[in-house]
Amino acid sequence: MSKRVQHADLKAYFHSIYEEFADVLFRYSYFKLSDREKAKDVVQDTFIRFWEYIAADGEVENTKAFLYKIATNAIVDQYRKHKTLSLDSLAEDGYDPADTEGHKKMLLSIDSALALELLNKIDSEDREIMLMRYVEGLSVKEIAEIMNERENTVSVKIHRALKELQELFEKND
């Protein structure tokens, strides 16, 4: 296969990945940063880094997990630039996470403001895992890859965080 055809195939592959993941990565980034422009920047940075990696003949075993890992790193970079951002600002700005499909699964009977309040009470790593699992719909395996943890460790953390959230919810009732 010629170099030109390979490049064209790579462009088609990249375009299909962009179409499949751009919206979910934006939603993930926006939820973390509560700023549309910064979330757009994170998505752009994510796909630039992804393109550079695959264009350099990098192989990706799990595209979804790889993109989330890149996006998470870009979000961390944003936090380093602006440490004043938090989930509280989402609630203050009137953002209602129950409007998105991912949150509906997790928050069926819980008011979204209460859910944000309860999520803010748990450990930040547990909160991150819960968001990836129930908001973004990532599998335990994908979360494990992103967090550089074993699948069993992630499962235990999810179980404990769910239990902690349930206890917090019952205390709040």
Residue 18, by phi and psi: left (phi above 0), alpha (psi -120 to 50) or beta?
alpha
Please determine, for residue 19, whether its predicted confidence score (pLDDT) is greater than 80: yes
For residue range 62-119, list pLDDT tens digits in order: 999 999 999 988 888 887 775 544 555 555 555 554 445 544 444 444 455 667 777 7
Please determine, for residue 147, whether its predicted confidence score (pLDDT) is greater than 90: no
Quick one: pLDDT at residue 49? Answer: 93
Quick one: pLDDT at residue 80? Answer: 74
Nearest Cα residue to 88 out of 59, 113, 61, 125: 113
Quick one: pLDDT at residue 130? Answer: 86
SS (H, E, C) the chain: CCHHHHHHHHHHHHHHHHHHHHHHHHHHHHHHHCCHHHHHHHHHHHHHHHHHHHHCCCCCCCHHHHHHHHHHHHHHHHHHHCCCCCHHHHHHCCCCHHHCHHHHHHCCCCCHHHHHHHHCCCCHHHHHHHHHHHHCCCCHHHHHHHHCCCHHHHHHHHHHHHHHHHHHHHHHC
**Average pLDDT score over residue span 128-132:** 86
**Integer Rg of the chain from CA:** 18
Quick one: pLDDT at residue 3? Answer: 39
Q: Half-sphere exposure (CA, 13 Å, Cβ side) for 32?
A: 34
Please determine, for residue 21, whether its predicted confidence score (pLDDT) is greater than 90: yes
Cβ atoms within 10 Å, residue 53: 14
Give 137's contacts (C-beta < 8 A, 6+ positions apart): 102, 105
Please determine, for residue 50, whether its predicted confidence score (pLDDT) is greater than 60: yes
Q: Half-sphere exposure (CA, 13 Å, Cβ side) for 152?
A: 0
Please determine, for residue 170, whether its predicted confidence score (pLDDT) is greater than 70: yes
Quick one: pLDDT at residue 2? Answer: 32
Quick one: pLDDT at residue 138? Answer: 87
Greater model confidence, 80 or 32: 32
- Per cent of the chain over pLDDT 90 is 24
